Copies of this chain bind each other. A is one copy, B any other.
């Protein structure tokens, strides 16, 4: 790195001081950031910014870094070196377990209403829940408990041991009640829901899963 020390009195920050600051601004920006925008925020001349960017570029060229400075869409952005793409993609795939809203709703209904049929879930949610249910089954958060002894013999669903593990619960009776949750809200507009819950939870529903 070549230190470009300027003697100009006008500037508050010389390039050496400015360079890491510019690096921070580019690093933290939510997209490519323009030199003029940085100049505006720092209230200095745009030329100063350009010198710092140049210093940064030289710095990155000199020693191996994981990223490089790219001029893109009229601004600057730090980007990872293309040769690392495979590793980065690999990392992207091992993401933590995440849920879509429909999946979460369906899971919540199953957890609190089990044993429950698909029709009951769909009645509560007001939408078809077949594919969400399938995903939950695949992820082993939900399982088929058996068939309900009513006409049509629909399948009934419940949660699994994996579900308990995911939420860090020792057993189903540890599921918090909606009542206490509603009590966190000021006012009593939520009282309507409390009487519907919690549904009694049969402990032996999960027993045979172990």
How far, in angstroms, from A25 to B64 measured CA to CA in the complex?
Answer: 14
Least Cβ–Cβ distance between A76 and chain B, in angstroms: 12
Contact A37 B94 (CB under 8 A): yes
B residues less than 8 Å from A5 (CB atoms): none
Contact partner, A25, options B29, B87, B176, Cβ 8 Å:
B87
Question: For residues 1 through 29 of chain A, which have their beta carbon under 8 Å from a beta carbon of chain B?
Answer: 1, 16-17, 19-29
Contact partner, A174, options B93, B147, B209, B210, Cβ 8 Å:
B147
| Chain A 47-70 interface mask (CB, 8 Å, partner B; 1/0) | 000000000000000011111000
Contact A23 B208 (CB under 8 A): no
B residues less than 8 Å from A134 (CB atoms): 184-185
Contact A67 B23 (CB under 8 A): yes
Least Cβ–Cβ distance between A29 and chain B, in angstroms: 7
How far, in angstroms, from A131 to B37 measured CA to CA in the complex?
Answer: 30
Q: A96 near B: Cβ within 8 Å?
A: yes
A66-B22 contact in complex given A29-B91, A168-B146, C-beta closer than 8 Å: yes
B residues less than 8 Å from A170 (CB atoms): 146
What residues make up the interface of A, taking CB atoms closer than 8 Å to B?
1, 16-17, 19-30, 33, 37-38, 40-42, 63-67, 78, 80-81, 84, 87-88, 90-91, 93-94, 96-98, 118, 130-131, 133-134, 137, 144-147, 153-155, 167-170, 173-177, 180-181, 183-186, 204, 207-210
24 contacts between A and B (CB under 8 A): A17-B64, A21-B87, A23-B67, A24-B67, A24-B88, A25-B84, A25-B88, A27-B67, A28-B91, A29-B91, A37-B91, A38-B91, A41-B91, A96-B210, A97-B209, A98-B209, A118-B184, A131-B184, A134-B185, A146-B169, A146-B176, A147-B173, A153-B173, A168-B208
